[in-house]
Structure 1
C-alpha cells in the first residue's frame, strides 16, 4: 500500500510538471505571436524607431560627456604639468640662488680669512720690525749715552714719530704735547724720539688742582675747599720743586722746570724739564722711567714744545 501512494505522488508530480511545461510553451507561443503581431504594427515600429533614436541620442550624449570630461581632465593635467614645471623651475632657481649665496659666502669667508691671515702676518712683521727697531734704538741710545766721544746724537734718534701721518696735526697737542682724546684722537700727534725736554705727566698733585664737583660727596667736609689756600699750594709746590729738582739735577744741568697748574684731567700737574743737552735728558729718561713718586708711577716721555706760554697754560 505505501508503494502505491508513492507511485501516485510521482505520477501526479510528473503530470503537474507536464502541465507547467505545456503552459509555458503556450505562453511563449502567445508572446511570440503577440510580438510578431506588434512587429507588423506601424505604430509599434515607429515606437521602436523612436526608442532606438533615443538610445542613440543618449549614447552620443554620454559619449560627448565622456569626451568633454576627458578633455577637461586633459586640460587640468596640462595645467598641472605646466604648474609643476613652473614650480620646478622656481625651485631650481631658488636652489641655484641658495647655492650662489653659499658660494659667495664661502668666497667672502675665504677672503676674510685670507685678509685676516695677511693682517696677522703683517702685524707679526710689523711687530718684529718694531721690536728690531726698538732694540736697535735702545742699543743706539745706550751707545750715545755711554760714549762721551759722541758729541751729538745720531740722526735716527732725532726723528719724530707720528700717530696719523696722513691727517693734519693736532693743534692742541702741538701747543701742549697733551690731548684730551689721547690715543683715540683722529688728528696727527708728532712725538720726538729724543729731545732736550722731558714731559712727566701728573708729576705734581695738589687738592686745589682737582676739578670742583657739581655735587659734593655727602661724607666729605663742607669746608674742605676752604681749608687750603693759594699760599698752601705755593708752599707745597716749593717743597715739591726742591725735592724734584734735587733728584733731576743728578742727570744733568736743568735749564727750565715748568709745572702746569691746570685743573683739566689731561693737563693737571704736568711737569716739563729742559736739560742743556739730549744726553742729560736721555739719562734722566732711562733712570726715571718706571720709578715711583708719592705712590704714583712716573710716566716720562720726550717733548718737542715750541713755546712755554701755550704749554703751561694755567687755566
Structure 2
C-alpha cells in the first residue's frame, strides 16, 4: 500500500506532538489517534470543524472506538479541542464535530499557516449546499428527510472557490499568499494531469523553493517543474516516509530510556521481554532466547495490550 503524501505543514505539526509541552503527559497509546486528528486539520481554514466518526478514527489509527473516545476526552479536558453536540433535525442521533482550539494550533506550530484574507474579489468561498426551498406541510417523508440532511452543517470541502475557480485547498495559498492567478493554477493542474502528475505533489515536493516567488514568476517556475521528467509523487512519498521514520526513531530513543529495567510478558505468559540498557530488549520464550534492538513493533505491542507489565524477577 502506497503512503499518503501530506502537506509539509501537517507533517511538521505531527512532529511537534513529540515536542510540545501540552503533550508531555499524552499516553503512548493515544499518539496515533492524535496524529490522525491532526492530519484532518484544514490548512485553508485551521478552525474548521473536523467531521470524523470515532469508528473512522479507530480504523485509521488501529485503535478501538473506546480508545478514540478517551483520546477525544483527553484533548477536550486540556482545552486543545472543542466539541458541540449537533442534533440531526428529522433524523436520529447527533454529531459532535471536533474543532481545533488556538492552544492546539499554537502547540502544532500551525498558527501562522492560515492564508491572510485577500480582497473581497478573491476571497475563498467554501462550497456548501444551496438552501432548501420551502416544503409544503403535506410533503412526503422522503422529501422532508432530504431537506433535513441539506440543513446539516456542510463537511469541510476539498476545494475552495476563488474568483470563480474551484481550487484544491492545498493549492489555495498559491493565490491567496503568492498572488498567482487562479486560472494559472488550473492551467498548471491540467498540464500536470496530461503528464500523469499531480500539481499538489509538485508543489509539496518543491514548496521551499516557491515561497519567495509570486504571480508570473511562480507560474513560470512551476511550469518548468511540471515539464521535467520527474516522479514527484515518489519524492513526496519518500519525504513522508523519511519523516515518519524520524518520528519512530525519536519515539524509540525516548522510550528506551524511559522503559529501561522494566519487564513485560504476553497475555498467555509464554514469552517474557526484558528492557535492557542501550535500547535493547531480551526476549525469553519456550524455544528461543535472544537480544534485539527495541523497535516500534515492541512499543505498539505494549500500547495495544499484547504485552503486559510484569514484576521483574517474577516468572
Query: Scaled by the length of structure 2, what TM-score is found?
Result: 0.19
Structure showing greater relative contact order (alpha-carbon pairs closer than 8 Å, 6 or more residues apart): 1
Question: Which has more helix, going by share of residues?
Answer: 1
Structure ID, larger Rg: 1
